[in-house]
Chain A
Amino acid sequence: MYTFLAFAHKQIRSLALTTLLGAGLLLNIAPASAQQPVDTKAHPNDFVQVVANNALQALKKEPEAKNGNIERINELINQYILPYVDFEKTTRLAAGRYWRQATTQQQKDLVDAFKNTLVRTYSGALRQADNVSAVTPLPFRGDPQADDAVVRTSMSRSNGPAIGVDYRLENVADGWRIYDLNVEGIWLIQNYRNQFAQQIAQTGIDGLIKALNDRNQR
């Protein structure tokens, strides 16, 4: 019995050593291999992790983006994030029942204005990218084949406690797309619905588009 334990212990130790070495090798290779291809039909957790890691890596390599060069940030976002985001859906849900009252042009303008607001918002957060050491998905407990899924992740930082970030995904014809985001319990769309409704009640849909654009110019 005792010998078996000793044997098992040794096995585990060598296993641990191999894993460590393996991890070390991976870490060494990682900067060279850089971007992983995104598989939109993969398991939701894997999809989100690859998208997040690609964006994070790209950002860390970009001193200009970190210094707040908005054009460069826009390019990066267009390349690494927007292909996997259904921004029209985000805007549509934020506008709620008013969406159907808007003309096609208004809808398009609203999507653009809201997108710019959020890009500007997150460009501030992106300056903190260096402090983010890893994005780790938490165990997925739903049905990975469903049309609507939530991926919960934990973003660990070098300068403070980890932050909980959740992603809401929809399953469309060409795979997963992100449409809502939760930071520490606060969903993005939910937090804009009342503001949108309020602004529309005061100044109409055009007023809302103008208010968003005015903010973006500041």
Chain B
Amino acid sequence: MKNIFKKISRHRLGKIVPVLALSAVIAGCANVTNPVAQDPFESYNRSMYAFNDTVDRALLKPIATGYETVVPKPARTCVAGIFNNLQDVWSSFNSFLQGRAHDGINMFGRVLFNSTMGLGGCIDVASMNGSQRIINDFGVTLGVWGFDSGPYLILPFLGSSSVRDGISTAAWFAIDISPPYAPIFEIDNIPLRNSILALAIVDLRAGLLPADRMVDEIALDRYSFIRDAYIQRRQALVEGRHANTGHTTSRGLPTDDQGLSVPDYSIDDEPAPSATPAQPAGQ
């Protein structure tokens, strides 16, 4: 037993090490003009972001765009639904781990309903009947358990992450489980398994195309935009729109009872600018 475990981890480690080495090579130095507290590795991150972006533009994005063009929408919706259904299993499991049993039960019901009436997720009958999709993963679970997200981190090939979420990804990878796609790895027919995995990746990327276009349109700087959105979104997931935890914000904002914090802009906004025209500070 111990031997098997050793073998697996060595085998896996063998895969991780080249990736780490690669990232060390790719990560040169990028200029940081506006240092942000949550992103101390910005210089490395920007280089890795540029690398990922190059890979994406050369390989993934064209394939995903082709998929979007060639495959009719109903078929794509069906494929996305099936993979979403797999993800919902993982979300449900994590909701339970987080002690959010209500969410977990709802999501489990969703999976049951979609797997049967929805033909394995092909048709999202649960959403049509008003069931909310509560997405969750192990990184969020660690957050709920009290682990701080740590600095923002761009992973090679995988993109936006944080030290916490990255450790979660790497840990599952090291024990040879890749949630939420673990069931796919159970398929013994290797060509079939690989085709399904490829489809999962294409589906994932194609699902991001609209967001990608939007970021292109509105972001002044794609890197910052994506980083700040990622940090906010992850924090919102940890705090939980549906959870009832007793957070309070410094100003006693109305969100207290909802367990959600809202951004506090007061630091920059407090002294009325017009009331005190003579300000020696600043300029």
Question: A interface vs B, CB < 8 Å?
Answer: 92-93, 96-97, 99-101, 117-118, 120-121, 124, 140-143, 146, 148-150, 152, 154, 156, 160-162, 164, 168, 180, 184-187, 189-199, 201-202, 208, 211-212, 215
**Which residues of B lie under 8 Å from residue A124 when comparing CB positions?**
213-214, 217
Query: A93 near B268 (CB under 8 angstroms)?
Result: yes
Closest residue of A by beta carbon distance from B236: A185
Q: Mark B210-239, 1 if CB is under 8 A from A, else 0.
A: 000110011111001101110011011100
A185 to B232 CA separation, bound complex (whole angstroms): 6
State the majority secondary structure of interface residues on A: helix
- Known A-B contacts A161-B132, A202-B33; the reply to A96 vs B268 at CB < 8 A is yes
Complex interface residues of chain B between 214 and 266 (CB less than 8 A to chain A): 214, 217-221, 224-225, 227-229, 232-233, 235-237, 241, 251, 253-258, 260, 262-263, 265
A160 to B36 CA separation, bound complex (whole angstroms): 35
Size of B's binding interface in residues, CB under 8 A: 43
**Which residues of A lie under 8 Å from residue B132 when comparing CB positions?**
154, 161-162
B189 at interface by CB-CB < 8 Å: no
Complex interface residues of chain B between 1 and 55 (CB less than 8 A to chain A): 33-34, 36
Closest residue of B by beta carbon distance from A191: B228
Extra pairs beyond A97-B268, A121-B218, A142-B255 (16, CB < 8 Å) = A93-B265, A99-B268, A124-B214, A141-B254, A142-B256, A152-B258, A160-B124, A168-B262, A184-B236, A186-B229, A191-B225, A195-B219, A198-B221, A198-B224, A202-B33, A215-B220
A106 to B229 CA separation, bound complex (whole angstroms): 27
List of 8 A-B pairs having minimum Cβ-Cβ separation, nearest first = A142-B254, A185-B236, A198-B34, A141-B257, A96-B268, A121-B218, A195-B220, A161-B133
Query: A164 near B241 (CB under 8 angstroms)?
Result: yes
Query: A201 near B34 (CB under 8 angstroms)?
Result: yes
How far does the Cβ of B261 sit from chain A's closest Cβ, in whole Å? 10
Query: B33 near A201 (CB under 8 angstroms)?
Result: yes
**Which residues of A lie under 8 Å from residue B224 when comparing CB positions?**
194-195, 198
A142 to B269 CA separation, bound complex (whole angstroms): 22
**Which residues of B lie under 8 Å from residue A201 when comparing CB positions?**
33-34
7 A-B residue pairs with Cβ-Cβ distance under 8 Å, sorted by A, are A93-B269, A97-B268, A99-B273, A101-B282, A142-B256, A143-B254, A198-B221
- Known A-B contacts A121-B214, A190-B228, A194-B36; the reply to A185 vs B241 at CB < 8 A is yes
B279 at interface by CB-CB < 8 Å: yes
**Which residues of A lie under 8 Å from residue B232 when comparing CB positions?**
185-187, 190-191
- Known A-B contacts A190-B228, A198-B221; the reply to A161 vs B124 at CB < 8 A is yes
How far does the Cβ of B283 sit from chain A's closest Cβ, in whole Å? 5
A93 to B263 CA separation, bound complex (whole angstroms): 11
Query: A187 near B218 (CB under 8 angstroms)?
Result: no
**Which residues of B lie under 8 Å from residue A185 when comparing CB positions?**
232-233, 235-237, 241
A141 to B248 CA separation, bound complex (whole angstroms): 13
**Which residues of B lie under 8 Å from residue A121 when comparing CB positions?**
214, 217-218
B194 at interface by CB-CB < 8 Å: no
A101 to B277 CA separation, bound complex (whole angstroms): 11
B127 at interface by CB-CB < 8 Å: yes
How far does the Cβ of A134 sit from chain B's closest Cβ, in whole Å? 11
Query: A146 near B254 (CB under 8 angstroms)?
Result: yes
